[in-house]
Amino acid sequence: MSAHQALGGRIFTKPFLVLLLIFVVGLVFMVERFSSGMGAVSNLNGGFAWGIWVVFDVVVGTAFACGGYALAFMVYVFNKGQYHPLVRPAVLASLLGYALGGFGAFFDMGRFWQFYEIFIPGNWNFNSVMLEVGLCVAVYIIILALEFAPAVLEKFGMHGLLKSLNKVLFFLIALGVLLPTMHQSSLGSLLIAMGHKVHPLWQVDHMQPVLALISALIMGFSIVIFEASTSAVGFSRKSEASLLAKMRQVIIGLLSTFLIVRLLVLLVQGKLGLIFAADFASLMILLETALFAIPLVILLSPERSSRGSQLLIAAMCMLMAGSLYRFDAFLLTFNPGPGYSYFPSAAEIMITLGVVAFEIMAYLILVKTLPVLHREERAL
């Protein structure tokens, strides 16, 4: 008997219909992008070649989808079996997040009809961080699909296949830990080659991969808390606050490491003064640091972190902190040279929102129809 069960219930709920509406509006612009070209819907220009499609859908989006990665790390590497109930929904969210990140990348791909060129080994440029990211993400999507496959196989009673999959699952899980480690750090390394265009406060050269990886893990844990909290609220399931609270030691460790590394790097590079330059960048780094620091304050108090609401607020802060860190570096303080500016067009935002809406809709449908969530009575 499986430890998981489908949630069941109506699919077309009110929130679902709102999401559907957003998706449909997004779809209109998606069609336009693939009929009239990128220029027709986006504000991308010669200086800002990467807009929110890359920065939100891929760079931030895949970090949001690190729940599966973070939990796999906890459960399988550090052998914390008690988090097992959270793994499958997290893997589903990761699968959807990554798949749609890949989908979003497709919108952004200027020569989408030639996407396969990146998979041809003869073309590979081993100096390119982008190559590593592209290939890694593509493989990881497949791994995530395989990791999630048991839910589908269970549903359709394909036990033979399930058994053989389970035999190699350990290897898939190992890969599933390695691959995000590689490409989440590389997403940070992308910034190195941009050199002076990245604001000095965010251009930390050699430490880019380290900061990117730690913040991705932070966001991964946050999204686990966020998902558990929202399904507790949304599906009126039992709060998993007690279970989530136990993650706090790890998150505290990650948060403090991040903040210490961040400040140390700026200190070593002699850029601390820029924090107090009283300009837009200094405002942004203060905001970002505050968003990293608030959850630290919440989690350091055992009393606070036992409360679901405080955990949710902490998680939301960390998600915003990680996102802002990425947005700041790639867009908000990104400066390709005098005269260039960028703010996404409404159409561009709608496409991204459409993708996000689709992701949430798919999640809702799948948890209601497939054995994803843990059986209530077995929950800790």
Number of residues that bind other proteins (CB under 8 A): 100
State the virtual CA torsion across 51, 140, 5, 228 in degrees, nearest 10: -50
For other proteins, the binding residue among 157, 195, 270, 302 (CB under 8 A) is 195
Examine residue 6 and tell whether it contacts other proteins (CB under 8 A).
Answer: no
Report, in Å, the least distance between residue 34 CB and other proteins.
Answer: 7
- Shortest Cβ 160–other proteins spacing (Å): 17
Q: Which of 139, 145, 178, 259 binds other proteins (CB under 8 A)?
A: 178
Calpha distance 47→334 (Å, rounded): 10
Q: Is 233 in the site for other proteins (CB under 8 A)?
A: yes
* Interface with other proteins, residue 192, by CB under 8 A: yes
Q: Which of residues 246-305 bind other proteins (CB under 8 A)?
A: none
- Say how many C-beta atoms besides its own lie within 10 A of residue 364's C-beta: 21
Cα–Cα distance, 219 to 216 (Å, whole number): 5
| Helix axes 208-234 and 248-268, enclosed angle (nearest 10) | 150
**Stretch of 140-148, 287-295, 307-315, 365-373 lying at the interface with other proteins (CB under 8 A):** 307-315
Contact 334, 199 (CB under 8 A): yes
Residues 123-162 that bind other proteins (CB under 8 A): 123-132, 134
Closest alpha carbon to 190 in 134, 269, 271, 250: 134
Query: Does residue 336 bind other proteins (CB under 8 A)?
Result: yes
Q: Residues 71, 141, 219, 241: which binds other proteins (CB under 8 A)? A: 241
3-class DSSP assignment, residue 220: helix
Residue 39 interacts with other proteins (CB under 8 A): yes or no = yes
Q: Which part of the chain contacts other proteins (CB under 8 A), choosing from 47-55, 93-101, 154-162, 278-286?
A: 47-55
Residue 79 interacting with other proteins (CB under 8 A): yes
Alpha-carbon separation of residue 155 from 88, 169, 192, 367 (angstroms) = 14, 18, 46, 12
Residues with Cβ < 8 Å from 263, sequence gap 6 or more? 272
Between 178 and 362, name the residue whose CB sits nearer to other proteins: 178
